[in-house]
Amino acid sequence: MPRKTGKRRHIPQRTCVGCREVLPKRSMIRIVRSSQGVVIDPTGKLSGRGAYLHELRTCWESGLKGALANALKTELTPEESERLMNYAVSLPE
């Protein structure tokens, strides 16, 4: 009797730039450097260079200290930093 060999679906993994933990892409928030500047990408499909952060305020705080700008290969403007920090305040500890 032949056995079914079910293929396991590939789950993309990404690294949080705040804490360096590797998790499935869908469980993280993508931040993208696009022509409009650095923005949060809720769909995960905007074009541009992206970086990922957990949905935890601690990861966002450590990421905004420099790791996020480094991953996006850009300098965050004060407006972008403030917008991202305002979003981080709404996240759980």
Res 93: pLDDT? 81
* Angstrom distances, CA of residue 41 to CA of 8, 28, 79: 28, 11, 17
Q: Which H/E stretch holds residue 62? A: helix 57-62
> pTM value?
0.86
Instruction: Sketch the domain layout of the chain as residue ranges.
Output: 14-89
Distance CA 80, CA 33 (A): 11
pLDDT tens-digit series, residues 46-88 = 999 999 999 999 999 999 999 999 999 999 999 999 999 999 9
The CATH architecture that domain 14-89 belongs to is 2-Layer Sandwich (3.30)
pLDDT of 4 > 80? The answer is no
Res 6: pLDDT? 73
pLDDT tens-digit series, residues 18-44 = 999 999 999 999 999 999 899 999 888
